[in-house]
Amino acid sequence: MPSVSERLQELRKELGRDLRPAPRRSPAKRRGSSRRSPRSIVLTVLGVAAVIALPFLAYVRTSVFAYAHSGSTWLALLCGSLVTVGVVAGYCIWIARRFHGRARVERMLRWVALPTAIAWCVYSAVYLARVNAKTDDVHAYYSSVHPILRIALSTVVLFDGDLVITDARRVAADYPRMGLPVNDRTKHYVQPDGWVHALDLRTRGHNEVANRLVQLYFWIMGFSTLRHVGTADHLHVQLRVP
């Protein structure tokens, strides 16, 4: 049998092995840099902006398209509203599935998509802030502008709050007062459907890049645009006749 001294010697060896510090593990190599490239950041920002803007742009573009093919203002607005509801509902369903499990489509449509679309349709077709009209008279007769042109303007005002309407409704007597020949074909007159089909936007004192982007927006949405000088440099926007 091993003696006591031999036993103590073995215990010292075992204890020494147990107290020996564990070897350090080399840190795992990073799979990739945590810093995102400027290009990735720009693409992310543009993607988020596109997602936010899509329901508004869909409402305007669908309304203009439907009006051009039907000639009915209210049918066009209804089509635009339905498309907007569909887009918003799709967002709601995706968010619900992404963060809260199974989406309840009916509830999303009833309590989120439909109220949001209705609220925006009413707001955009009726309201114009006083700061977005050149004068009190322009603000007062804003309600005579065609509803589709109003919703298009309200949408761009969301992204460019400095936009100003300089003129919309006119009568023949306004032209001599402005020092211009009478234009019998202008869409600034009240048209047979009871609406004014054109408006003018201020460009002087407004950022030139913003002016070009606003003009591009209206053109993409299906309106006629013309940058010209009457009494002053301005952007003329007109609803195309079906």
Q: For residues 83 and 89, what is the distance between their CA atoms, to the nearest angstrom?
A: 10
User: Encoding tokens for residue 140?
Assistant: 């007062």
Q: What domains sit in the chain, N to C, each tagged with a CATH number?
A: 53-126 (no CATH), 129-242 (3.30.1380.10)
Q: How far is residue 2's CA from residue 91's CA, in Å, rounded to a whole number?
A: 79
Task: Specify the pLDDT at position 32.
Answer: 47
In contact, 179 and 148? CB cutoff 8 Å: no
**What is residue 231's predicted lDDT score, i.e. its pLDDT?**
65
Q: What gap in Å lies between CA 200 and CA 237, rounded to an integer?
A: 6
Q: What is the model's pLDDT at position 26?
A: 55
Look at residue 13 in the predicted model and tell me its pLDDT. 60
Reported residue count of the chain is 242
pTM to 2 decimals? 0.76
* Residues contacting 55, CB < 8 A, separation 6+: 84, 87, 88, 91, 117, 120
The pLDDT value given to residue 158:
87
d(CA 165, CA 11): 94
pLDDT at position 5 is 55
| CA gap 63, 236 in Å, rounded | 20
Give Cβ neighbours of residue 8 (< 8 Å, ≥ 6 apart): none
What residue has token string 């003329």?
236
pLDDT in tens, 4-31: 455 555 655 655 554 455 556 555 544 5
In this prediction, the residues of the chain whose per-residue pLDDT falls under 70 are 1-34, 100-105, 230-231
Instruction: State how far the Cα of 64 lies from the Cα of 71, in Å rounded to an integer.
Output: 10
Residue with tokens 């007769």: 141
Closest CA to 155 of 11, 55, 80: 55
Assigned token pair, 112: 């989120």
Q: How much is the pLDDT for 92? A: 80
β-bridge mates for residue 224, sequence order: 238
Write down the pLDDT at residue 183.
86
